[in-house]
Amino acid sequence: MNDQTWKWSNSSSFASDMKTAHELIDLVMEKLESSPWSDKEKFAINMALEEAMVNAIQHGNDSDPNKKVHFVCNLNDNLIFVKIADEGPGFDPEALPDPTDEDHILDNHGRGVLLIKNFVTRVKWNDKGNVIEFEKERAVS
């Protein structure tokens, strides 16, 4: 993560529930409304957040309400940093089949990871694969 002065930060934990995840995503998007981020960049951030939350809740925690999702978001006018951790067994993002490959086009796994990689500037997972960190830099014209 870059050394930044953040205009807004949020750190929270919540039960594996998409309603709460969407409330957090909406909060982040609300904070971006008064910023210089373009509509295209806001769309990309929204999609990356949605995919990462779905992966943590549904795939990581199997939608188990007894398991928590841990969420950190820091942002300013030029950078957003997000960290999402689940309590699941993890996975290897590099082992996912390419969802654009004809043999895997109908698979239920891999599209979210592909979208995240294409919508953010930097993304990484911990060794276990249950923590994602990503950053998106605002395009400066």
pLDDT tens-place string over residues 66-107: 999 999 999 999 999 999 999 999 999 888 777 766 776 666
According to DSSP, the residues that pair with 69 across neighbouring strands are: 14
Hey, what are 24's tokens? 């957090």
Q: What is the mean pLDDT of the chain?
A: 92
- Listed in order, strand segments (DSSP E) in 1-141 are 8-15, 68-75, 79-85, 122-125, 131-137
- Determine what percent of the chain is predicted with pLDDT higher than 70: 91
Count Cα atoms within 13 angstroms, Cβ side, for 47. 17
The residue with greater pLDDT, 93 or 39, is 39
Q: Where are the domains of the chain?
A: 19-137
Q: Please give the helix or strand (H or E) that residue 91 lies within, else none.
A: none
**pLDDT band per the 50, 70, 90 thresholds, residue 56:** very high
Contacts for 8 with CB less than 8 Å, ≥ 6 apart: 31, 73, 74, 75, 76
3-class secondary structure, 79: strand
pLDDT of 2 > 60? The answer is no
The CATH class for the domain spanning 19-137 reads alpha beta
pLDDT of 3 > 70? The answer is no
pLDDT of 21 > 80? The answer is yes
106 in Cβ contact with 31 (< 8 Å): no
3-class secondary structure, 103: helix
- Compute the average pLDDT of residues 6-32: 97
DSSP alpha helix (H) spans, 9-138: 18-33, 39-54, 111-119
* pTM to 2 decimal places: 0.91
